[in-house]
Amino acid sequence: MIITVKPAKSLRGELATLPADKSVAHRAAIFAALAKGESVIENYSLAADPQSTLQCLRDLGVFVKQNKSQVVISSNGRLAFKPQKTQIDCGNSGTTMRLLSGIVAGAGLDITLTGDASLSSRPMKRVIEPLRTMGAKIESSPGDRAPIRFLSHEGLKPIEYILPVASAQVKSCVLLAGLFANGETRVIEKLPSRDHTERMLGLPSEISKHGARILKSSSSFEVKPGNTRVPNDISAAAFWMVAASIVPDSDVKLMSVGINPSRNAVIDILKRMGADIEVEVVSGSRDELLAEPVADIRIRSASLKAVQLHENEIPNCIDEIPVLAVAMAFADGHSEVRNAAELRAKECDRISAVVEMLQNAGVNIIEHEDGFEIAGNQNIAPKSSDYRSFHDHRIAMAASVLSLKSAGESTVADAECVSISYPDFYMHLSELCQ
């Protein structure tokens, strides 16, 4: 599907129905499957990736009932999985495959996790290695990629694992596998990554004398059922934060957005750039069923200045970097993103995709192995272009935001990929542009 995006004179309005947070939704469903009893999840994401997680849980023998955005999960606990298939399809979802790898390995199930062509090209060595160290028997495709076959074993042993990269998915995979091991598994995190797993499960943690965070799990830890509500996704909100900042005469309000401290760097970065952003923390019962802070966010257009991203904030904003690059194009001065090589291992090589996107618009950008440099100018008039999405939802949406500032109409190819995380993106774009 090719989408045509027209330049916008302003963006105005309120979005109350942003997509639910995918990271939280995945985990809420998976953790409910580990608990003995019934759990109810409200505002569950209807995007393709979290739906893949629900189907995978069904294929593992877990009762899952869905009515629009409400999901009911009933389970007999972490030792009661009864796979209905020998091959379980994770679709395009790396989170699904990496988190389920910890559970499948821990439970000693004899099944294969598969995915689509994009997922099968992404690195899985980062979860396979620690799971093998714990005693899991795993066979993989060349290059330690999917499909991944898990074989039954005699049980996992606990390990102490120092994360080689700041990755919430790897951290979560090892901690989830640790829930099946006799003894304490310790994951040591030198650079912070998203903390949804430990926050939602309530896993014990401590800080080492060197400042690293040590997270712990074991088979004695009880995962409890309960009722939860998923906040709206800050990664989806980031596209409107940037769009409203760069398009003149804009005023946009985003409701019930999750502002988890390990996810909200995009707000701090845009504020450093001079963005006009107001964050009103929500109190009361609207979204307090999870241990996740929530806020209403108002953004008005502003003059932006260049920014350099710090190494320790890269994991906190890794998914927002493509659209932050668009903001950098309209910020006066020299912006730089480094230590972000992880972007090359996403749904596509997001570094090269961002470079091509901005070059097509006439922006001066230099590519590095671990990032890029942008010579920005708030008065730049981007050329209209025919953008490639690379079948990556975040690239498609970033290109669409960029197109709002172009001199004429631009197109985005294979734009249907936005359904992976934000099925209503183009409908919301149309509403805000009216």
Q: What is the pLDDT of residue 288?
A: 43
In order, the DSSP letters of 131-149 are HHHTT-EEEEETTTEEEEE
CATH of 22-217, one of 3.90.1150.10, 3.30.70.1150, 3.90.1300.10, 3.65.10.10: 3.65.10.10
328 burial via Cβ count (<10 Å: 0-12, 13-18, 19+): buried
Q: Could you say which DSSP state residue 345 is in?
A: G
Q: Which are the catalytic amino acids? A: 319
378 burial via Cβ count (<10 Å: 0-12, 13-18, 19+): middle
User: Distance between CA 346 and CA 58 in Å, rounded?
Assistant: 26
Q: What is the pLDDT of residue 26?
A: 97
Distance of CA 34 to the CA centre of its chain: 22
Q: What is the pLDDT of residue 286?
A: 45
238 burial via Cβ count (<10 Å: 0-12, 13-18, 19+): buried
Q: What is the CA radius of gyration of the chain?
A: 21
In order of 252, 266, 343, 385, 395, the CA distances from 319 in angstroms are 21, 10, 8, 24, 10
Q: Rounded to the nearest 10 degrees, what angle do helices 393-403 and 321-329 cross at?
A: 20
In order of 50, 303, 336, 417, the CA distances from 333 in angstroms are 39, 12, 10, 33
Provide the 3-class DSSP secondary structure of residue 178: helix
* The domains spanning 3-19+231-433 and 22-217 adopt the same CATH topology: yes
**Which CATH number is 3-19+231-433 given?**
3.65.10.10
Mean pLDDT by 10 residues, the chain (434 residues): 96 95 96 97 92 98 97 95 96 96 97 95 93 97 94 95 92 98 96 91 90 95 93 96 98 96 95 98 57 92 97 92 98 97 93 98 97 95 94 97 95 95 95 89
Q: What is the pLDDT of residue 210?
A: 85
Residue 294 · residue 268 · CB < 8 Å = no
Q: What is the pLDDT of residue 25?
A: 96
Going by C-alpha positions, the residue among 397, 366, 402 that lies closest to residue 384 is: 402
Q: What is the pLDDT of residue 284?
A: 54
**Domain coordinates of the chain in residue numbers?**
3-19+231-433, 22-217
